[in-house]
Amino acid sequence: MTTKDVNQGNAPAYKPVSMTPKEYKQFAKKREPSRSVGMNCVRAFLIGGAICLIGEGVQQFFMTAFHMSEREASNPTVATMILISVILTCLGVYDKIAQWAGAGTAVPVTGFANSMASAAIEHRSEGLVLGVGANMFKLAGSVIVFGTVAAFFVSIIHWLIEVWR
């Protein structure tokens, strides 16, 4: 045993950890690495814009190759973008792009597809019903709920404006 070691003298008394949660939160906040909000905005703009540009290209392709109107081309365009997003999710690429791009990959239709596909893949091990079926909307569910709620209130406002006019 090393209890008689020279380094062991009388028990030192240190100041106890005595910060209040409020003080500590400020203390810790000051020592956090800063999030580069400006850079994140630029990246989100670039990647989000690039995704939309690809979507526009796909739409133009359907319009010229299949002689669709802009309205007719929108459904196959969205389906194509979803497909691309799901493939990139399955290949394990989408999350890596998202770490760089931030909100750029979250906002467009591809982000929604990624949230569903990733949850479906993740919970496949729990079976098709209790795993995939029950968890697919784990993240996308709140988008649908609050999207619907928002649409409800917007349509009420729209209706009120119509009545007032």
Instruction: Provide the binding-site residues for another protein, judged by CB under 8 A.
Output: 1-3, 5, 7-17, 19-22, 24-25, 27-28, 31-33, 35, 40, 89-90, 92, 94-95, 97-99, 101-103, 105-106, 111, 114-115, 117-119, 121-123, 125, 138-139
57 vs 92, which CB is nearer to another protein? 92
Give the shortest CB-95-to-another protein separation in angstroms: 5
Q: Is the Cβ of residue 20 or residue 69 nearer to another protein in the bound state?
A: 20
Residue 87: CB minimum distance to another protein, A: 12
**Biggest alpha carbon–alpha carbon distance for the chain:** 92
CA angle 51, 123, 150 (to 5 degrees): 50
Nearer to another protein, 28 or 50 (CB): 28
C-alpha 73/C-alpha 38 separation (Å) is 35
Which residue from 114, 63, 46, 52 is spatially nearest to 84, judged by alpha carbons?
A: 114
Distance, in Å, from the CA atom of 54 to the CA atom of 82, rounded to the nearest integer, reads: 12
- The CB-of-114 to another protein minimum distance in angstroms stands at 5
C-alpha–C-alpha distance, residues 81 and 108, integer Å? 9
* Residue 45 to residue 56: CA distance in whole angstroms: 16
Query: Is the Cβ of residue 26 or residue 75 nearer to another protein in the bound state?
Result: 26
CB nearer another protein, residue 11 or residue 65: 11
Rounded to the nearest whole angstrom, what is the least distance from the CB of residue 8 to another protein in the complex? 5
Q: Is the dihedral of CA 124, 127, 133, 139 positive or negative?
A: negative
What's the min distance (Å) between Cβ of 54 and another protein? 16
